[in-house]
Structure 1
């Protein structure tokens, strides 16, 4: 799927609230719901191999997605207010979480660090990039990082509540959120019924073994499996499945008591 500079400019304008800019081409079908979202909107993104792997057993994940898959991810980052990753992803990949492959604003970078494992040597604290928010349990002992916003949330029975995380971001006017990694972090938000769209980008590579892209509780029969309405896009180097999940928007909604850090 080719995206012209003019189309991308219109999508960026739509992100800023300029209505009446929607188009009818494939780019608007894919990116329009993100750019045009008003209120809280959660997108989860997974880049994986043909056999459903996101990394080697040793943790090498840098070349799973092709160049077009990476450009897609950077477009998604440019259209949201904040991008969430678990501490395991930061420890394994030391990501910049930038938009260097596309034109657009860089999102606030959010790291869920339940137990205060970050030590300040991670690149995102020192690269001069977008602001950083660190979310940890109020019972955790951790460092304060110059220039970073450290948010302490009360743990529930099994850890932090994904809804509490989204609420803390909403208080900072960070409403459009990309949950980028790792697999367990994405799964926690899906389990809690808090994801509007799930993007699964598949690259033509076979890894053979390693962690899976999404890890959810097992179902006994396929009738219990998620079957979202899905559109398929040819990005070029990768094939993208744009899945519409049924998010629970009840006002009394509380996400499941899960810890969304430690293992990405």
Structure 2
């Protein structure tokens, strides 16, 4: 397990890399190894992030999810937001948590906020529409009632038999020059992107808490044998209060051309 000790200088370097600087990172530095693949990705890149308990829960049965991740796990999530162009959540996450989806615990720009609301369930009084934050995009089915929302753009897509296609969503975002994407929740939304083989990296952040029951972080279609299970190449990092499993699901990631050499000591 590698310890992430993220200095201000290191984070500034990663933000420069995200913005297009040609920098060669140090794989031996855990912070570079964990965040570098996000910052250096070019063209289409999808990161999924799950924050869960030791027993794999992301909320209590009543839906309380606010205190699962520790402070370092939350900071990690905000860093991931700062390194992407847009963050995606499903309508259930908005209804349950009323999230801001902004960068508050790290330096960096807020991503465009994307909500998948296939059946146009949102009312328009949710905080994300009135908080004065980054752009909000709503994906609706073309078969749902036509609804508009304050301070948000609605994109209507033709659904398939299971809802809105994750590939169609990514293509519509790419048309808006939003190519580096964080899929943050909920479990069904993350699962649909994974099942469609669109997620390049999966971060599973585990906090030392046992809930005992409640929804799980990823809900994929059932399999009969473990031989059919996902077995991604994985690196493990300790952030302090939480542990992150960095799982490589797809390796076809276009990376930035790297030239400026920056190497830091391995603090693991």
Q: TM-score, normalised by structure 1?
A: 0.92
Q: Distance in 1 between matches of 2:158 and 2:251?
A: 24
Q: Distance in 1 between matches of 2:218 and 2:72?
A: 21
- 2:213 equivalent to 1:204: no
Q: Which residue in 1 is equivalent to 2:31?
A: 27
Q: Which of these residues, 238, 243, 251, is aligned with residue 239 of structure 1?
A: 243
- 2:66 equivalent to 1:45: no
Q: Secondary structure at the match of 2:162?
A: coil
The offset of 1:143, in angstroms, is 2.1
**CA offsets, 1:225-257, max 9 Å, x none?**
0000000000100010000003789xxxxxxxx
Q: Distance in 2 between matches of 1:99 and 1:4?
A: 17
Q: TM-score, normalised by structure 2?
A: 0.91
Q: Which of these residues, 52, 75, 81, is aligned with residue 77 of structure 1?
A: 81
Distance 1:247 1:121, change over 3 A: farther
Q: Which residue in 2 is equivalent to 1:255?
A: none
Q: Tell me: higher relative CO, structure 1 or 2? Use CA pairs within 8 A at least 6 residues apart.
A: 2
Q: Distance in 2 between matches of 1:142 and 1:236?
A: 46
Q: Which residue in 2 is equivalent to 1:225?
A: 229
**CA offsets, 1:167-208, max 9 Å, x none?**
000000000000000001000000000000000000000000
Q: Which residue in 2 is equivalent to 1:257?
A: none
Q: Which residue in 2 is equivalent to 1:166?
A: 170
1:194 touches 1:247 (CA, 8 Å); kept in 2? no
4+ runs of 1 displaced by more than 6 Å?
A: none
Q: Distance in 1 between matches of 2:17 and 2:220?
A: 34
